[in-house]
Amino acid sequence: MPPEAPTPSRGRRRKTTSRHPLLRRTALVVSVVMAVLLVGGGIAGFLIYRKLDGNIGVIDAFQPDIVGSDRPTKVQPSQTATEPLNILVMGSDTRVGQGRGFGSAAVLSGARSDTTLLIHLPADRQTALVVSIPRDTVVEIPDCKTDTGTYPAHTERFNAAFSIGGPGCTIKTVEHLTDVFVDHFVVVDFRGFEGMVDALGGVDVCLSEPAFDVKSGLDLPAGISTVRGDQALAFVRARYTLGNGSDISRIDRQQAFMSSVVEKARSAGTLLNPIKLVRFLDAATKSVATDPDLASLNELRKLAEQVRGIPPKDITFVTTPWLVNPDDPNTVVWDTSRTDALWEAIRSDAGYPPPKPEPNVIDGKPIQVAPADVQLRVLNGTRVSGEATAAAAEFSAQGFSVVGVDTAESTNFVSTVVRYDPAYGTAAARTVTASLGGATRVLVPGLGSVVEVVVGKDWPGVTPVVVKTPRDPSDGVRTADENICK
């Protein structure tokens, strides 16, 4: 997995000048997604509103000479009053004006973006998709405008785009790679992260074992902990002491953190307190700069009114599908066999990932054993020759492993029967039963791991089944309602 330069401690107990103390994706979602989803509440007093509104920075990066004139075609809705929106969120690690604990601006000049999120809000505003783009993805960066001229197109790590030409170059790169039109953007820096987390009353995180990380300052026990500003920042920055030490592993952990933020912000009373709300918004707005069309609390409020009803189960976090770069194992490349479907879903305003069919249910529970994992012996319980052989062929066509075909002890079976050993084959027998539309099951102790099907006169035929499968952590997809300990 791509290695990363050591990150310095965030705590006030030590100074640091190391290269990459990174706020990462979490701060972005805390400040942006939560602002978008929660800013709909009232702000007490015109002066407070004007102060908060004035906190938001403005960057006019959508000029044709910056993002180019040949941009992707924007999807136009056909039956909805609202339009789909794509908001690109970038984290800036500039040290200018960040205060103590983030490294020296004299040593770490300029700004980099090791965090990029593409937030897709569909036209119906019933769901939200948040796509994380790994910083070490090797991509083709198009020519970009800089302060001194034009930087030529070249191949480099994705996060270099921000260093070359700021948000405009990152937008141009994303549009060039995905053919997805970017409607708005938000740039987030270090400031205000602790204040935002503290305004939420802290955020729950979960660790399978205790973690102590000198580089980030993380010091947490195993299990669920409520972290506030400094420890929250350490949690999202820590790498080598958590997971497998990769940036991809950290993204998955940070997506769980985002889920926890959504849950905490939605919990009763978290931001209903006017003092907490103003404190949160003050910290958030001081930390962001956006395009002119989004740079006001009123615009964020309008957007909030459209999306605040999205339930956590319909907020999906996705890591851009990736593969280890065969030319450099310290970097990754996009798995185009899957990224193409992701970008097409966003371009066409379709759901992602595509909804899975509901699994078959037996005894009120979804089946969980795949046909390929079931060993079957098919017996003919009728007087019609060849019935078991024909049935076995049907089972094989649906993926079952047929290990034997024979004649039953009787040829007078009226009903088809599924026989299994309760010590071995209960779950497998449920899969077989589902494939037969609910055939009768009979316990046969001592039968072992093989499930027997006795073909009766009412033979229903074998139909396809859908098995419930757990989420594969490697697929980079999770929803905001998933258990944060997974």
Pick 366 or 21 by higher pLDDT.
366
Pick 47 or 450 by higher pLDDT.
450
**Rounded CA separation 347/462 (Å):** 39
Q: Which of 320, 300, 432, 454 is nearest to 382 (CA)?
A: 454
**Rounded CA separation 106/84 (Å):** 42
Say what the pLDDT of residue 308 is.
77
Pick 150 or 470 by higher pLDDT.
150
37-41, 133-137, 174-178, 356-360: segment of lowest average pLDDT: 37-41
Instruction: Encode pLDDT of 187-197 as tens digits.
Output: 887 556 677 78
Highest mean pLDDT among 317-326, 396-405, 469-478: 396-405
143-147, 271-275, 323-327: segment of lowest average pLDDT: 271-275
| Cβ 173 vs Cβ 185: under 8 Å | no
Say what the pLDDT of residue 30 is.
37
Between the CA of residue 94 and those of 61, 111, 228, 280, 308, what are the distances in Å? 18, 4, 23, 22, 31
Tell me: pLDDT of 129 over 80: yes
90-99, 164-173, 426-435: segment of lowest average pLDDT: 90-99
Tell me: pLDDT of 173 over 80: yes
Q: Which residues of the chain are in CATH 3.30.70 domains? A: 361-455
- 483: three-class secondary structure by DSSP: coil
Residues of the chain with pLDDT > 70, as a percent, come to 80
Between the CA of residue 404 and those of 63, 208, 388, 453, what are the distances in Å? 71, 45, 10, 10
Tokens describing residue 26: 């979490």
CATH architecture for segment(s) 24-357+474-479: 3-Layer(aba) Sandwich (3.40)
Between the CA of residue 23 and those of 59, 71, 159, what are the distances in Å? 21, 30, 14
Say what the pLDDT of residue 28 is.
37
Average pLDDT, the chain: 81
Say what the pLDDT of residue 145 is.
94
Tell me: pLDDT of 9 over 70: no
Say what the pLDDT of residue 224 is.
93
Instruction: Encode pLDDT of 62-74 as tens digits.
Output: 999 999 999 999 8
Cβ burial of 197 (10 Å; 0-12, 13-18, 19+) is buried
User: Per-residue confidence at 486, pLDDT binned at 50, 70, 90?
Assistant: confident
Residues of the chain with pLDDT > 90, as a percent, come to 45
Say what the pLDDT of residue 271 is.
62
Q: Which of 218, 16, 238, 192 is nearest to 108 (CA)?
A: 16
Tell me: pLDDT of 155 over 80: yes
Instruction: Encode pLDDT of 424-482 as tens digits.
Output: 889 999 999 999 999 999 999 999 999 999 999 999 999 999 998 776 555 678 888 88
Q: Which residues of the chain are in CATH 3.40.630.190 domains? A: 24-357+474-479
User: Per-residue confidence at 96, pLDDT binned at 50, 70, 90?
Assistant: very low
Tell me: pLDDT of 8 over 50: no
107-116, 158-167, 234-243, 259-268: segment of lowest average pLDDT: 107-116
Q: Which amino acid is at 130?
A: V
Pick 395 or 338 by higher pLDDT.
395
Pick 454 or 11 by higher pLDDT.
454
Mean pLDDT of 294-323: 84
Mean pLDDT of 125-146: 93
**Rounded CA separation 186/39 (Å):** 15
Q: Which of 159, 181, 173, 215 is nearest to 83 (CA)?
A: 181
Tell me: pLDDT of 82 over 90: no
8-17, 64-73, 266-275, 323-332: segment of lowest average pLDDT: 8-17
Say what the pLDDT of residue 245 is.
62
What pTM did the predictor assign? 0.72
**Rounded CA separation 209/206 (Å):** 9
Which 8-state DSSP code applies to residue 137?
B
User: Per-residue confidence at 113, pLDDT binned at 50, 70, 90?
Assistant: low
Pick 22 or 47 by higher pLDDT.
47
Q: Output the CA angle 420-423-424, nearest 5 degrees.
A: 65
25-39, 73-87, 212-226: segment of lowest average pLDDT: 25-39
Domain 361-455 has CATH 3.40.50: no
Say what the pLDDT of residue 17 is.
32
User: Per-residue confidence at 110, pLDDT binned at 50, 70, 90?
Assistant: very low
